[in-house]
Chain A
Amino acid sequence: MSLTHYLVLAAILFAIGATTVLLRRNAIIVFMGVELMLNSTNLLLVTFSRMHGNLSGQVLAFFVMVVAAAEVVVGLAIIVTIFRTRRSASVDDVNLLKS
Chain B
Amino acid sequence: MHTLISLTAPALAPTVTPVMTTAWDGAQAALWLVALPLLSAAVLLLLGRRADRWGHWLGVLASAGAFVVGLVLLIGLLGRPAAERVQDVDLGTWLDAGALSIDAGLRVDPLSLTFVLLVTFVGTLIHVYSVAYMEHDAARRRFFAYLNLFVAAMLLLVLADSYVLLFVGWEGVGLASYLLIGFWNHHTPYAVAAKKAFVANRIGDVGLLVAMGLMFATFGNLDFASVDAGVAGASEGTLTAIGLALLLAACGKSAQFPLQSWLGDAMAGPTPVSALIHAATMVTAGVYLIIRSGVIFAAAPTAQLVVAIVGAITLLFGAIVGCAKDDIKKALAASTMSQIGYMVLAAGLGPIGYAFAIFHLVTHGFFKAGMFLGAGSVMHGMDDQVDMRRFGGLGRYMKITYFTFMAGWLAILGIPPFAGFFSKDKIIEAAFVPVDGQPWRAWVFGAVALVGAGVTAFYMSRLFFMTFEGQKRWSRTRDGGEQHPHESPALMTWPMIVLAVGSVGLGWVLSSVGFVEWLEPSVGHAEHADPVLAVPLIIGLTLLAVGLGLVLAWRRYAVSTVPVTPPVGTVLTRAARVDLYQDAVNDALLVEPGQYLTRSLVYGDKAVVDGAVTGLGRTTVGLGDLVRRVQNGYARSYAAVMVVGVVVLAFVVLAARG
Verify that A and B bind, or say they do not.
yes
Which A residues are closer than 8 A to B by beta carbons?
18, 21-23, 25, 30, 91-92, 94-99
How far, in Å, is A87 (CB) from chain B's closest CB? 19
Identify 5 new A-B residue pairs, CB closer than 8 A, beyond the known A21-B636, A95-B634, A99-B633.
A18-B643, A22-B636, A25-B636, A96-B633, A98-B632
How far, in Å, is A12 (CB) from chain B's closest CB? 15
CB <8 Å contact, B643 and A22: yes
Confirm or deny: B619 has a beta carbon within 8 angstroms of a beta carbon on chain A. no
7 intermolecular pairs with C-beta atoms under 8 Å apart:
A22-B636, A22-B643, A30-B636, A92-B636, A97-B633, A98-B632, A99-B633
List the B side residues contacting A98 at CB < 8 Å: 631-633
Confirm or deny: B5 has a beta carbon within 8 angstroms of a beta carbon on chain A. no
List the A side residues contacting B632 at CB < 8 Å: 95, 98
State in angstroms the CA–CA spacing of A95 and B631 once bound together: 10
Choose among A21, A91, A99 the residue that contacts B634 (Cβ–Cβ < 8 A).
A91
- Chain B interface size band reads under 10
Which B residues are closer than 8 A to A by beta carbons?
631-636, 639-640, 643
CB <8 Å contact, A21 and B639: yes
**Most interface-central of A25, A92, A99 (chain B CB within 10 A):** A92
CB <8 Å contact, A22 and B640: yes
10 A-B pairs with the lowest CB-CB distances in the bound complex, closest first: A98-B633, A95-B633, A91-B635, A22-B640, A21-B639, A92-B634, A95-B634, A18-B643, A22-B636, A91-B636
List the A side residues contacting B633 at CB < 8 Å: 95-99
Nearest A residue to B631 by beta-carbon distance? Answer: A98
List the B side residues contacting A96 at CB < 8 Å: 633
List the A side residues contacting B643 at CB < 8 Å: 18, 22
State in angstroms the CA–CA spacing of A97 and B634 once bound together: 9
State in angstroms the CA–CA spacing of A92 and B639 once bound together: 12
CB <8 Å contact, B635 and A94: yes
Nearest A residue to B647 by beta-carbon distance? Answer: A18
List the B side residues contacting A18 at CB < 8 Å: 643
List the A side residues contacting B639 at CB < 8 Å: 21-22
State in angstroms the CA–CA spacing of A25 and B636 once bound together: 8
State in angstroms the CA–CA spacing of A49 and B21 once bound together: 116
State in angstroms the CA–CA spacing of A22 and B639 once bound together: 7
How far, in Å, is A16 (CB) from chain B's closest CB? 13
State in angstroms the CA–CA spacing of A67 and B9 once bound together: 98
List the A side residues contacting B640 at CB < 8 Å: 22
List the B side residues contacting A23 at CB < 8 Å: 636
How far, in Å, is A92 (CB) from chain B's closest CB? 6
How far, in Å, is A97 (CB) from chain B's closest CB? 6
State in angstroms the CA–CA spacing of A99 and B629 once bound together: 11
How far, in Å, is B637 (CB) from chain A's closest CB? 9
How far, in Å, is A71 (CB) from chain B's closest CB? 15
State in angstroms the CA–CA spacing of A23 and B459 once bound together: 103
State in angstroms the CA–CA spacing of A91 and B643 once bound together: 17
List the B side residues contacting A21 at CB < 8 Å: 636, 639
How far, in Å, is B349 (CB) from chain A's closest CB? 87
List the B side residues contacting A95 at CB < 8 Å: 632-635
State in angstroms the CA–CA spacing of A18 and B640 once bound together: 9
State in angstroms the CA–CA spacing of A23 and B633 once bound together: 16
List the B side residues contacting A94 at CB < 8 Å: 635
State in angstroms the CA–CA spacing of A98 and B634 once bound together: 8
Nearest B residue to A92 by beta-carbon distance? Answer: B634
State in angstroms the CA–CA spacing of A91 and B631 once bound together: 15
State in angstroms the CA–CA spacing of A96 and B631 once bound together: 11
State in angstroms the CA–CA spacing of A95 and B634 once bound together: 6
Nearest B residue to A27 by beta-carbon distance? Answer: B635
Nearest B residue to A23 by beta-carbon distance? Answer: B636
List the A side residues contacting B631 at CB < 8 Å: 98
How far, in Å, is A3 (CB) from chain B's closest CB? 18
How far, in Å, is B53 (CB) from chain A's closest CB? 71
**Most interface-central of B631, B632, B636, B640 (chain A CB within 10 A):** B636
State in angstroms the CA–CA spacing of A96 and B635 once bound together: 11
How far, in Å, is B648 (CB) from chain A's closest CB? 14
Nearest A residue to B637 by beta-carbon distance? Answer: A22
State in angstroms the CA–CA spacing of A94 and B638 once bound together: 13
List the B side residues contacting A25 at CB < 8 Å: 636
Nearest A residue to B646 by beta-carbon distance? Answer: A18
State in angstroms the CA–CA spacing of A18 and B639 once bound together: 9
How far, in Å, is B633 (CB) from chain A's closest CB? 3
How far, in Å, is A32 (CB) from chain B's closest CB? 14
State in angstroms the CA–CA spacing of A99 and B633 once bound together: 8
